[in-house]
Structure 1
Amino acid sequence: MFARFTDPARRAVMRAGLLSMDAGRAALAPDLLLLGLAEECPLPHLPAPEALRAHLDTGRTRELLAAIGIDVDEVRRRTRHGVDDPALWRLRRSRANPLRVTLSGPLGVLPLETHTRKAVEVAMWKPGPVTGERLLWGLLADGANGMARLLHLTGGDVPALVRVAGIPVHRPRRTA
């Protein structure tokens, strides 16, 4: 599935997977896909990653290990050399269960939550490359995933992001 993704869009999904694994989550959720997008594909009107992080559960690993004097960033630099290589990551749909999509890489396999899978499918719906804007479209297309609310809470301009993503907005006709 990654064949159509631009490099920044692929890196955003990979980064979201790493964040999810670091947080100890069992599946890749749309909030971490949004954070990965903010880190790897900074789009106009998208909140800064730090603003998003303040509202997300990214795990307490850093705090807990820092309390006993361990620098998590240094440990990751030494042990995760090369895990961010796009060639090592795959996004696959299960043949037996087409609704199951997994992200696999050097650190393991992570299923996509339903809302994350929907976002990826919407991003891939139109022909052409999957870009950061298309992933944003996918995240905003599903009103039940809470991403518009999260963007609003973190200072994102949702109407402007709708324009950046190129989402068509149909306004009802006024009758005279």
Structure 2
Amino acid sequence: MFDRFTDPARRAVMRAGILTMNAGRTSLATDLLLLGLAEEHPMPHLPDPAALRPHIDTGRTRELLAAIGIDVEEVRRRTRHGLDDPRLWRLERSRVAFLRVTLSGPMGVLPLRMHARKAIEVALWKPGPVTGERLLWGLLADAANGSAAILREAGADVRELVRVAGIPVHRATSG
């Protein structure tokens, strides 16, 4: 599935996988997909990762280790060098269970939760490359996944993000 992804979009999904494993989660959800997108593919009106983090559960490792003077990001840089190599990561649909999509890499295999899978499916829906804007479209296409709420809480103008991502807006007409 990654063959249609641009490098920044692929890195965003890979980063979401790393964030998921660092948080101790067993499956990839849309909140960390959104954070991975913000970290790897900044775009106009998308909040920076520091503004998003307080609204997303990324685990408490960073703050617990910081309390004793350990910079967890430096530890991760030193011990997990090379994990972001795109050749080591795969995004695959199960041949047996068609709705099961997994992200696999050097740290393990993560199934995508329903809403994260739907976001990827929407991004892949149109022909052509999957860009960060298309991932954003996938995240915003389903209000039930919570991405729009996280963006609003972080101070983003969601209507402007919809415009930037090129998401078509259908307005009801009176008649």
- How big is the shift at 1:53? 0.1
Aligned to 1:131: 131
Offset from partner CA, 1:66-94 (integer Å, 9 cap, x none)? 33443322221221110011111000111
Aligned to 1:75: 75
CA separation in 1, counterparts of 2:86 and 2:143? 30
Structure 1 unaligned residues grouped into runs of 5+: none
CA separation in 1, counterparts of 2:67 and 2:171? 54
Aligned to 1:22: 22
User: TM-score, normalized by length of structure 2?
Assistant: 0.96
- Does residue 106 (structure 1) correspond to residue 106 (structure 2)? The answer is yes
Structure 2 unaligned residues grouped into runs of 5+: none
CA separation in 1, counterparts of 2:68 and 2:51? 27
CA separation in 2, counterparts of 1:54 and 1:125? 31
| One-letter identity of the residue aligned with 1:6 | T
CA separation in 2, counterparts of 1:71 and 1:171? 49
- Does residue 161 (structure 1) correspond to residue 170 (structure 2)? The answer is no
CA separation in 2, counterparts of 1:77 and 1:172? 50
CA separation in 2, counterparts of 1:160 and 1:19? 27
- How big is the shift at 1:7? 0.2
Aligned to 2:120: 120
Aligned to 1:84: 84
| One-letter identity of the residue aligned with 1:114 | M
Aligned to 1:140: 140
Offset from partner CA, 1:104-128 (integer Å, 9 cap, x none)? 0011111101000000000000000
User: Residue 55 of structure 2 aligns to a residue in which SS?
Assistant: coil
| One-letter identity of the residue aligned with 2:118 | K
Aligned to 1:32: 32
CA separation in 2, counterparts of 1:121 and 1:47? 24
- Does residue 58 (structure 1) correspond to residue 89 (structure 2)? The answer is no
- How big is the shift at 1:138? 0.3
Aligned to 1:8: 8
CA separation in 2, counterparts of 1:160 and 1:70? 39
RMSD of the TM alignment (CA)? Answer: 1.1
| One-letter identity of the residue aligned with 2:113 | E
User: Residue 54 of structure 1 aligns to a residue in which SS?
Assistant: helix
Matches within 5 A, 1:33-48: 33-48=33-48
Aligned length: 175
CA separation in 2, counterparts of 1:47 and 1:112? 24
CA separation in 2, counterparts of 1:157 and 1:69? 37
